[in-house]
Amino acid sequence: TKGDDFREWGGELLKWVTDYRDKCRDIHVISRVEPNYLQKGLPSSAPTTGEPWTAIMSDLDSKILPGLTHWEASNRFFAYFKPHASYPAVLGEMLCAGLNVMGFDWIASPACTELEVVTLDWLGRFLNLPEKFLGSSEGPGGGVIQGSAGESATVVLLAAAVSKQKLQPERTKMVVYVSDQTHAIAQKATMILGIRCHVVKTALENNFEMQAADLEAAIEEDVANGLCPIAAVATTGTTSSCAFDPLVPISAVCKAREMWVHVDAAYGGAYACLEAYKSKFEGLEEVDSFCVNCHKKLLCPFDIAALYVANRRPILDALSLQPEYLRNAHSESGAVVDFEHWQMPLGRRFRSLKLWFVMRRFGTEGLRHHVQNGTVLAKYFASLVEKDEDLEISVPVSLSLVCFRWKGRGEADQQRLLDAVKATGKAFIIHTKLGGKIVIRVACGGVEQTKDDVLGCYEVISRELKKLK
Ligand code: PLP
């Protein structure tokens, strides 16, 4: 409880985390505990007097470790999108807790607000975002850190709804457009806000990208039925297959109806730093908001989503309240940014520290190299799949993701293969459905993942497949 205790055990804990990452790189990647294992393994009440760290650390090893799936530490993790909590960012997270300052308005802790503005501008420039999204630009735009892509979508869709309130006072008549590949966060945001969600279908022949003509037809149908289109959510790097919705034609359709265009770039946004992906982000000049998760590809631990808006006004109109106890001269002068009005909660952590540490320790070159490395590993994995007569690639390889199937086999066999691979604990992969069919996803690109790890994953799949044949 005292500083000395913290100094000693803080050091021990850092060592524990480092050892954990080293020793769990090549062990069984998926936790095998049964439900409620901890309720059975821990006392039913908290201790009445404080316990020594030795006892707590011992339980970390014997009780907590078995219940972990090794998202970060394991090089055998190819499921979902591999997270990337680099050591500098973990230290940033620790510092954030250690300082424990609140950054809801500027005066609450000026460094917290100002570092956020500076680092989000650094990130925006690194990702080649349009000037209008930067806090230092002349216009009303800027970036803000939200907890997640889901919170970001909820905030911007709320802003879109509030700005249409005069035109259509009933929320239940407002419609947000997504595709059948859009992450569920967008639909969840519409559930929270009491707005309709119209799902536009995608197809294999268009690589599961939302087509502007289909979006337009959906909008026209709703308008004819007396509904009010307010926004569309486009995705650059969909969760299932890393497809890119075409931003230029989608924005053109939405602009004609004065609708908000939000770009969910939670995973794919990081790749905007690569020359090779520049054309995929064409049209960002036209959109209203863009969200990229620094807790996915950008080397930070959860939770840090960078949300950029072209105009902050609609968000402030939707979320600003000024109770007496928060009034202060700086806020009233209008010369400072008060991020409490850009988000749902009041309190805000000093989350920019972790991104700042990352950008300073790796530099833009290091960060770009890391993003690029995932694409190199994915191409390598795809080359192994292409050479294998039992497997076939399902959609063009995009970013660091490869989607494939067991060639010539039905759905039950795809599932058998997945289950067999999972059971080995030597590769964690998951499936999705594209066009109603199961495809197996391999998401490459951990901080220290190498070609050998990717080859290892392929060999497990190939070995299990041969056993099932
Ligand atoms: N959007 C996309 C495209 C994603 O792939 C994901 C998660 O993988 C999310 C949103 C969810 O992000 P968050 O947990 O930050 O809300």
Percentage of the chain exceeding pLDDT 90 = 93
State the Cα–Cα distance between residues 464 and 70, nearest whole angstrom.
Answer: 22
Residue 183 CA, ligand 1 centroid: distance in Å = 6
**If you average pLDDT over residues 459-466, what whole number do you get?**
97
Distance CA 121, CA 178 (A): 28
In this structure, the residues whose C-beta lies within 6 A of any atom of ligand 1 are 81, 148-150, 183, 185, 235, 239, 264, 266-267, 293, 305
Asked whether the beta carbons of 144 and 339 are under 8 A apart, the reply is yes
What does DSSP say about strands 391-393 and 174-179: parallel, antiparallel, or unpaired?
A: unpaired
Give me the residue label for tokens 């035109």. Answer: 167
Ligand 1 center–CA 269 separation, angstroms: 11
* Integer Cα distance of 461 and 418 in angstroms: 8
Give the residue extent of every domain in the chain.
Answer: 3-74, 92-358
CATH architecture observed for domain 92-358: 3-Layer(aba) Sandwich (3.40)
**How many Å lie between the centroid of ligand 1 and the Cα of residue 187?**
12
Residue bearing tokens 């359709």: 253
Atom number, ligand 1, closest to the C-alpha of residue 148: 15
- Map residue 51 onto helix, strand or coil: coil
Kindly state the DSSP code that residue 10 receives in the 8-state scheme: H
Long-range contacts of 284-288 (CB under 8 A, 24+ apart): 284/129, 284/130, 284/247, 285/130, 285/132, 286/247, 286/248, 286/251, 286/252, 286/255, 286/261, 287/234, 287/247, 287/251, 287/261, 287/262, 287/263, 288/156, 288/160, 288/260, 288/261, 288/262
Q: What pLDDT, on a 0 to 100 scale, did the predictor assign at position 330?
A: 83
CATH class of the structural domain 3-74: mainly alpha
Residue 386's pLDDT is 97
Which atom of ligand 1 is nearest the CA belonging to 235?
3
Calculate what percentage of the chain has a pLDDT beyond 70.
100
Band (pLDDT 50/70/90 cuts) for residue 1 is low
CA–centroid distance, 240 to ligand 1, in Å, is 11
Identify which has the larger pLDDT, 323 or 339: 339
Residue closest via CA to ligand 1's atom 5 equals 239
Rounded to the nearest whole angstrom, what is the distance from the C-alpha of residue 266 to the centroid of ligand 1? 5
Q: Whose CA is nearest to atom 12 of ligand 1?
A: 149
d(CA 142, CA 132) in angstroms, rounded, equals 7
ipTM summary value: 0.98
Tell me the per-residue pLDDT of 403-421, one tens digit each, with 9 for 90 and over: 999 999 999 999 999 999 9
Phi and psi, residue 289, nearest 5°? -155, 160
Question: 247 near 287, Cβ under 8 Å?
Answer: yes
**pLDDT tens, position by position, 332-361:** 888 889 999 999 999 999 999 999 999 999
Q: Whose CA is nearest to atom 11 of ligand 1?
A: 149
Residue 457 CA to ligand 1 centre (angstroms): 24
Measure 370 CA to ligand 1 centroid, in angstroms. Answer: 20
Using the 8-state DSSP alphabet, how is residue 64 labeled?
Answer: I
E strands, 255-315, in order: 260-264, 289-293, 305-309
Element at 422 (helix H, strand E): helix 411-424
| Token pair belonging to 69 | 């799936």
Query: From the CA of 47, how far away is ligand 1's center (Å)?
Result: 38
Q: Is the dihedral of CA 447, 449, 450, 451 positive or negative?
A: negative
Position 154 confidence tier, pLDDT thresholds 50, 70, 90: very high
Per-residue pLDDT at 331? 83
Using one digit for the tens of pLDDT, what is the confidence trace for 213-265? Answer: 999 999 999 999 999 999 999 999 999 999 999 999 999 999 999 999 999 99
- Residues 446-468, mean pLDDT to the nearest whole number: 94
Say how many Å lie between the CA of residue 275 and the centre of ligand 1: 24
Q: 430 phi and psi, to 5 degrees?
A: -130, 175
> Would you state the pLDDT for residue 453?
95
**Which residues are bridge partners to 233 per DSSP?**
262
> Probe ligand 1: pick from 239, 242, 262, max atoms within 8 Å of CB?
239
Q: Which of 146, 157, 180, 185 to mutate to test the pocket of ligand 1 (most atoms within 8 A of CB)?
A: 185
pLDDT digits (tens, 9 = 90+) for 263-313: 999 999 999 999 999 999 999 999 999 999 999 999 999 999 999 999 999
Take atom 8 of ligand 1 and give the residue whose Cα is closest: 239
What's the 108 CA to ligand 1 centre distance in angstroms? 30
Global pTM reads 0.96
Backbone φ, ψ for residue 434 (5° rounding):
-125, 125
Query: How many angstroms does the Cα of residue 241 sit away from the middle of ligand 1?
Result: 13
H-helix or E-strand spanning residue 393: strand 391-393
pLDDT averaged over the chain? 96
If you average pLDDT over residues 203-217, what whole number do you get? 97
* Helix pair angle (352-387, 110-126), 10° resolution: 30
- The protein residue with its alpha carbon nearest to ligand 1, atom 14, reads 148
Atom in ligand 1 nearest the alpha carbon of residue 147 = 15
Most ligand 1 atoms within 8 A of CB, residue of 80, 81, 183 to mutate: 183
Handedness of CA 404, 409, 411, 417 (dihedral sign): negative
